[in-house]
Every structure is written in structure tokens, then in C-alpha cells.
Amino acid sequence: MTIRVLLADDQQMVRTGFRYMLDAEDDIEVVGEAGDGVEAVRLARELRPDVVLMDIRMPGIDGLSATRRLAGPGVVDPLKVVVVTTFDMDEYVHAALTGGAVGFLLKDAGPALLIEAVRAAARGDALVSPRITVRLLRHFAEAGAPAPAPDTGGLTPRELDIVRSVAQGRTNTEVASELYVTVSTVKTHLARVQEKLGARNRVEVAAWAYRNGLMA
């Protein structure tokens, strides 16, 4: 299946570079480009791409606001948005992920990680630039607060194993390899975890793990 991608960035050179890298892949097709946040929302709703690559600082409305409109809490049939930015700032990461983004990538991460982020989002995984994964997830915990006593949230031991792996930034494939189970089994467990916790995606699952003392 071809993964349909919408590019949203106010810099034409960035969009051209991303298009060049993504269109070179047999399973990815860039179906549209937007130069500002308003256009990004309009095109995303019109084209319904599999993945939106969203810059943060854009004219009109910024990428964080656009992400909330396309994937935030309360959005019916949310799109899969990966925020791609030059700004390695905790507040941006936090706002993007709580706003519904399924990934957060720095523009200097390189072509291989950009392509993997698109594929991960399309298959329901979340990918975050490795150098900020643990830091950004800890940002969800209360700053300076003592670690709470672990709260299992009614999860089974196997589900807790998967939650911890997800909170360390691992993909479904990596979790499966680590726990010696199939990817299908990981997806099944993760779906149950999300239902039990009321989490919309794996990033919210990871945030829950940090908030509840499971990663101490």
C-alpha cells in the first residue's frame, strides 16, 4: 500500500527536499504541499493523507494549532501528524504530543529517520527523534515532584512490560523482539492498554508510565 503524505512547511526548499526524499521510496507518495497552517488544515481535510508532516512555525496558524485541529482531543477520525521542526524545545514537544501528534522529529535527523517516521505513523507507531525521546516523555511528569508509588492502572504484567518498552521509545517491532512475541501480539496488548488507560495513542501511554512512577 502506498503511504500518502502531505507536507506542511513555510519554506519551499524544505518541502522540495522532503518531497525528493519521500518520492524516491516505492511505498510513499507526496500528495500535496502547504506553505502555511491554514492551508495545511484545508488540504489535510480535503486530501485525507495517511500522514501529515507538520512544521511548527508557519504563517496563518502555527503547526501546533493546525495539529490540534487535525488530530487533537475531540477530533472525529483524527489524522496522523508528525511534527518536524528545527526547534528542540520541551514546550514544543509537549504541546505537539498533547495536541495529537503521533511523532516529533528534528529536521536534522536525516533522510532515513524521516522516512521511518512516515512509515511508523502510517502503521500506527510513534517515532520521536532518539536524542529527545526519554527527555520529552519525562516532561509529562510533574517537574521536580518526587516519583509517585508505581500505579499499575489495572494492567497485567505483560501489558506493563509493553508499556515500559513503549515509554523507552521502542517501536512495535522492537518491543516484539525484546519480549519474544509477535508484532501482532504487541498491537493487541497495546490496544487493550489504550482502552484501559483511556489513551489515544502510544505517546499518551508512555506519558502515563512516567507520570505514574513506572519508569523510576
Q: What is the pTM (predicted TM-score) of this model?
A: 0.70
Which residues are CB-contacts of 48 (< 8 A; sequence separation ≥ 6)? 79
Which cell goes with 205? 501511554
Q: What angle do CA 61, 66, 69 make, to 5 degrees?
A: 125
Q: What is the DSSP string of 47-71?
A: H--SEEEE-SS-SSS-HHHHHHHHH
Q: What pairing do the DSSP bridges indicate for beta strands 81-85 and 103-106?
A: parallel
Q: What share of the chain is helix, strand, coil (3-state, %, to 5)?
A: 50, 10, 35
Q: What string of pLDDT tens digits covers the 216 residues of the chain?
A: 899 999 999 999 999 999 999 999 999 999 999 999 999 999 999 999 999 999 999 999 999 999 999 998 889 889 999 999 887 676 787 788 788 888 888 888 788 889 988 998 898 877 776 556 556 555 555 444 444 445 677 899 999 999 988 887 777 888 899 999 998 999 899 889 988 988 767 777 877 887 777 776
